[in-house]
Amino acid sequence: MKKFFSIFFVSFALVFSTSSYANKIGVIYDSGGKFDKSFNELAYNTAVRVQDELGWDMIEFEAANNTQIEQGMRKVADRGATLVVAMGFAQADAVAAIAPQYPDVNFVAVDVCWVDDPAGNIYQACYLEHEGSFLVGVIAAMASKTGTIGFVGGMDIPLIRKFQGGYEQGALYANPDIKILANMTGTTPEAWNNPTKGAELTKAQIDGGADVVYQAAGGTGIGVYQAAADEGKLAIGVDSNQNHLQPGTMLTSMLKRVDLATYETFMDVKSGNFTSGVKVLGLKEDGVGWAYDKHNKSLITDVMKSTINGLSDKVKSGAIKVHDYMSDNNCPA
């Protein structure tokens, strides 16, 4: 009997230890929604990859509006998340409020690089989207046959102006005479998830002569791609590689490697090497870039590839400096 209880308590201790300390991923999506084919879905796919590779559980929260973010983040932390990934700048205040209250939980704040971190448990990742947008702007200008290209943004905020500014600088670098049409979808978070409005804006730009349209509008971008496909024009994706969404129409995608920051942080937590602080990811850090694959191979010429590779090296070395709209709320283009 004594031996039985010894075995029982050892077994119980092992089970309790495993369940108590099992890692859990918490993902808080921004208002674009989990399946936006872009920013949020990239984080979701990375979390699923970690689930498959490491056997971690996943806790998710989608806020109906930004006022619910803090409450949702607290619930995710209370449910035992080891690492909480907060997607988007709109979650900055919630991270700043919640993280100090959960010093044993690690947080990743994507598109945030200004939050105070008294508990030392926040990894903040910001991206140089203007650098990647510069490259796809060059591609757009080189591919355009009409000499007019377009841009559709989501919510009219400095971050999206940063995408637009880089795109315009790249297009003008390639063709100083290029004409650029630009529209924002709206001024509220609903602008991230309005494909109908995205299609309307794209159609208007095409009617104005644009034959290539770049979008930085979250789920709204699905409407941009459909309108471009319907009109026989080209579109440029954003954040994830979206070339497969409309093969033959998607000229390329501006890659924003949200998966890079989140996956590496998952691995750091697993190995006990989580490091807080701010990291800025641009072309040099492989944080942004452009997509080339079987879906757009027929649209990208050898001249385009060699030009982009050369310009990418110049941006990385500092020989070309792409202006950041958010540095002064101004775009020199």
For the domain that residue 84 is a member of, what is the CATH number?
Answer: 3.40.50.2300
- pLDDT, residue 38, reads 79
Tokens coding 274: 């989580």
Residue 290, strand partner residues: 254
183 with 77, same domain? no
pTM for this model (two decimals): 0.88
Q: Is residue 85 part of a domain?
A: yes
139 assigned to some structural domain:
yes
Residue 4 lies in a domain: no
The beta-strand segments (E) located in the chain are 24-29, 57-62, 83-87, 106-110, 122-127, 148-155, 179-186, 212-216, 234-239, 250-256, 277-281, 288-290
Give φ, ψ of 290 to 5 degrees: -135, 155
Q: What is the pLDDT of residue 229?
A: 98
173 and 297 assigned to the same domain? yes
Q: Do residue 233 and residue 165 come from a single domain? A: yes
Closest residue by Cα to residue 54 from 259, 262, 261, 266: 266
Q: Domain for residue 52, yes or no?
A: yes
Residues 306 and 267 in one domain: no
Q: Is the pLDDT of residue 2 over 60?
A: no
Is residue 5 domain-resident? no
Q: Of all residues in the chain, what percent carry a pLDDT higher than 90?
A: 77
Residues 252 and 151 in one domain: yes
Check whether residue 176 and residue 233 sit in a common domain: yes
Domain identity same for 195 and 101? no
- pLDDT attached to residue 17: 27
CB atoms within 10 A of CB 83: 25
| Angle at alpha carbon of residue 189, lines to 44 and 153, rounded to 5° | 85
Q: Which residues contact 331 (CB under 8 A, 6 or more apart)?
A: 161, 164, 165, 168, 169, 323, 325
Asked if residue 193 and residue 63 are part of one domain, the reply reads no
Instruction: State the CB neighbour count (10 A cutoff) for residue 146.
Output: 14
Please check whether residues 73 and 148 belong to one and the same domain. Answer: no
- Regarding whether 305 and 194 lie in a shared domain, the answer is yes
pLDDT at residue 21 tops 50: no
Concatenating the DSSP letter of every residue in 157-176 gives SHHHHHHHHHHHHHHHHH-T
Residue 319 lies in a domain: yes
In a domain, 3, yes or no: no
Which tokens belong to 129?
């989207």
Least-confidence region, from 137-141, 178-182, 245-249: 245-249
Distance, in Å, from the CA atom of 330 to the CA atom of 165, rounded to the nearest integer, reads 8
Task: Tell whether the torsion through CA atoms of 24, 30, 31 and 33 is positive or negative.
Answer: negative
Beta strands 148-155 and 179-186 are parallel
Predicted confidence band of residue 22 (pLDDT cuts 50, 70, 90):
low
| Weakest mean pLDDT among 24-38, 269-283, 305-319 | 24-38
Q: Are 70 and 95 in contact (CB under 8 A)?
A: no
Pairing of strands 122-127, 106-110: parallel
pLDDT at 275: 93
Q: Which two tokens stand for residue 169?
A: 């600088």
Q: What is d(CA 36, CA 42) in angstroms, rounded to the nearest whole number?
A: 9
Residue carrying the six token digits 């996943």? 58
Do both 205 and 110 map to the same domain? no
d(CA 6, CA 12): 10
Give the total number of structural domains in the chain: 2
Q: Is residue 231 predicted with pLDDT exceeding 50? A: yes
**Average pLDDT over all residues of the chain:** 90
Show the tokens assigned to 182: 């630009």
Asked if the model's pLDDT at residue 283 lies above 80, the reply is yes
C-alpha separations of 263 from 50, 109, 257, 267 in Å = 8, 13, 10, 6
Nearest partner of 224 among 240, 239, 236, 209, judged by Cα: 236
Residue 2: inside a domain? no
Which residues, 6 or more positions from 118, have their beta carbon under 8 angstroms from its beta carbon? Answer: 100
Determine contact, residues 155/187, Cβ cutoff 8 Å.
Answer: yes
Q: Which domain holds residue 179?
A: 129-256+288-328
**93 and 185 both lie in a single domain:** no
